[in-house]
Amino acid sequence: MTTDNKQLSAFKSWLWNSEFDGIESAAKKDLTDYVAGLLMEMRDNVKDKSRIDWLADLNNEIGNVQLPTECVENNIGSLREAIDEAMEL
């Protein structure tokens, strides 16, 4: 089990054992699973942000991205905006 999975499992256990007055077990499980899913999504988004930041760094000499020329020309200085424009094509 990875560290991320151990932390997520510990959080789910803590949340499950927390006091929620008036919430039935099924709803508590749904809430626990939902919050755990959100945490996993947030973790993935942080990793994606780090990747994009690395690619977008103007001093990066080894990473590259291939996008349509027009998208790059329309968004000089912003890799994120160039990617957004390319995704709309």
| In a shared domain, residues 51 and 66 | no
The number of folded domains in the chain is 2
| In a shared domain, residues 32 and 72 | no
The answer to whether the beta carbons of residues 71 and 85 sit under 8 Å apart is yes
Distance CA 65, CA 24 (A): 49
| In a shared domain, residues 66 and 44 | no
Q: Which domain holds residue 11?
A: 1-56
φ/ψ region of 22 (left if φ > 0, alpha if ψ in -120 to 50, else beta) reads left
pLDDT at 1 over 60: no
| In a shared domain, residues 39 and 77 | no
Q: Which residue type does 48 have?
A: D
| In a shared domain, residues 52 and 69 | no
What are the pLDDT digits (tens) for 41-53?
888 888 888 888 8
What are the pLDDT digits (tens) for 16-64?
676 665 667 777 778 778 888 888 888 888 888 888 888 888 888 898 8
For the chain, where are the E strands, in sequence order?
none
| In a shared domain, residues 8 and 46 | yes
| In a shared domain, residues 20 and 48 | yes
Report residue 81 as tokens. Answer: 């905006």
